[in-house]
Structure 1
């Protein structure tokens, strides 16, 4: 394996090692894989860990990295280790300072919260820090070296030509449930922090006035959140809307783009987010968006153009803006088109890969 790693890259101006420490699939994993799909054609790279890799040949172990990085590249330049998680920063620090690996450490920071002292110390050991948006940059102890916004694959996340037809053909609800003409949804893990209760309560109060819409909650339910979910189910049943406000459960990751492409409105109401790719995926799929002031969403969404941004945990604001959207199908369509154009121009994953690769090349 070591010979394979070195073959054909000894004269490269740069070589990249990507952290990949988490076994379970997550938003960070999705980001890494999407960017990597373009970045691997721009720069020689390997991935430290085989978790969720669609190209296992790129995988390399921690100990293989230790051995490979005892010396710089033949052109004298250092390899770059890119961490996106705290435990990957730990791995990078061990590689560089314990095993004396000849590498430069880069950390991409998306979190929007005050960091623990240990995390701050790890960050201070990085050779460069990248923030995902202005909001995440503001939580760093020191200004980042650069800001590079996340992107999404605009080929994977694309709008259906006919939203209503796509929604009708979507195999998401049971035959006894009412699909309506259009679908609206909130996607992600079902828990209070994600604002699912705000979405459900707003739908309970509004959908009786808008019979063309069916609402779905797409996402897994952890055991500790079953009570919270059951309380929401009970409220829906009491309102007589069990056929129109539906918990669809966790879906296969490969089916998510098809779901997005069929939706007219996607709602994202988290109390906090790192970046929040859901909104970009929805916009790229031609859906209008209604989001809370979390993550990068206030920086991405143009108020009244692509959708609306509302204060965190503000049920009245959610209901007001959702009613405004559901009452005007033309507005929904225009916002979806505007959002798609905005993503194509500013938030594609290919753009992210190019900006990231260009920045990394400045470090060696």
Structure 2
């Protein structure tokens, strides 16, 4: 918990009880931001290592911070935007509002209305930015290289699990149709009988509305006689050790916002096969660090996985290339630095809300930011440099 709230410059919100990509982003990013910034997270399901403010400190948001003209309120969900708008425009708290947008779909009218009242918008990719009707800055998510790293000892070896086979192929994330867990199971049912050295590991939480979906998958696995080789581990305490134990990681999502799991696997020196959902295409160099297939295409997914089963040494080679690529392009420190530049712009320029009319924006010196391509395939705005 944060003791002296008067020094807090930024509040990062996480108003979601369930673990999600937004939660993961806050949990990883806020400790990194705290190295150079007075920041606290507000919300649920936050571990001790994350600097946090208490709910009872919310009234203190109505006082200006000690060394800034206003605090920055950084949110990632609609309910967090609603709370921020209420605090700033109704209750007149000295805040400026930033929204992080990862969605890759046309936003609903309420969301579009709220986005126009943000003081700045950050898109996690140019693809997600393309669905926005307001100026934005592209800042890709980064990866925590202290937590996600290559194998270092015996516990990081797949052999330490005591599970069958020599190699593991993993699929993580919530068990549901959107994540393509069924596509992964179908591929494993087809491939594993021909490759006895491989075992499939599925981790992740199954919510109550997806229990029937999980039962259907397990029934299919049982019918194929593969219950000892396609293993559901549930919601594991520390996924990072499993990334290190995988020789291959598969992210078969039908839909994604950004999608952090391939980056976490790559930082663990693991080759990846992904769909083309979310920001996955920006992470994959086909034939170098992994493979990419059309989202929802079960046959293409199976065909992309099989060469790694046939040649485990190729998987290891691609894993080494994946590690090099993610360190060069998706560091958590770079994400924190680029977001800080957006904060600093608000503090130093006193940028007006995006909700101004076009004429008002021009008078305030606010124009649609120019962008240019970078080496990761993203298009970054000049303000992000």
TM-score of the pair, normalised by structure 1? 0.89
* 1:22 counterpart residue number: 16
Alignment CA distance shift 1:133-1:56 (3 Å): closer
* 2:359 counterpart residue number: none
CA RMSD of aligned residues (A): 2.3
Residue 306 of structure 1 deviates from its aligned partner by 1.3
Map 1:41-56 onto structure 2 (within 5 A).
41-49=35-43, 51-55=45-49
2:198 aligned to 213, 216, 236, which one? 213
Map 1:28-107 onto structure 2 (within 5 A).
28-49=22-43, 51-55=45-49, 58-61=52-55, 64-70=57-63, 72-73=64-65, 77-107=69-99
* 2:366 counterpart residue number: none
Are residues 1:198 and 2:183 paired?
Answer: yes
Alignment CA distance shift 1:238-1:359 (3 Å): same
Secondary structure of 2:170's aligned partner: strand
* 2:251 counterpart residue number: 268
Secondary structure of 2:342's aligned partner: helix
8 Å CA contact retained: 1:272, 1:294? yes
Are residues 1:156 and 2:147 paired?
Answer: yes
Task: Write the distance in 2 (CA, Å) between the matches of 1:53 and 1:259.
Answer: 20
* 2:341 counterpart residue number: 358
Secondary structure of 1:358's aligned partner: helix
Residue 18 of structure 1 deviates from its aligned partner by 1.4
* 1:136 counterpart residue number: 128
Task: Write the distance in 2 (CA, Å) between the matches of 1:317 and 1:167.
Answer: 27
Return 5+ residue gaps in structure 2 as ranges: 348-385
What do residues 38-86 of structure 1 show as CA deviations (whole Å, max 9, x unaligned)? Answer: 111211123333642415863143x74444434x446662221111111
8 Å CA contact retained: 2:2, 2:53? no
Alignment CA distance shift 1:281-1:163 (3 Å): farther
* 2:379 counterpart residue number: none
Residue 165 of structure 1 deviates from its aligned partner by 7.0
Task: Write the distance in 1 (CA, Å) between the matches of 2:267 and 2:175.
Answer: 23
TM-score of the pair, normalised by structure 2? 0.84
Map 1:333-344 onto structure 2 (within 5 A).
333-344=316-327
Q: How many residues align?
A: 347
What do residues 110-137 of structure 1 show as CA deviations (whole Å, max 9, x unaligned)? Answer: 1112211111111111000000011111
1:234 aligned to 219, 238, 253, which one? 219
* 1:176 counterpart residue number: none
* 1:108 counterpart residue number: 100
Task: Write the distance in 1 (CA, Å) between the matches of 2:161 and 2:240.
Answer: 12
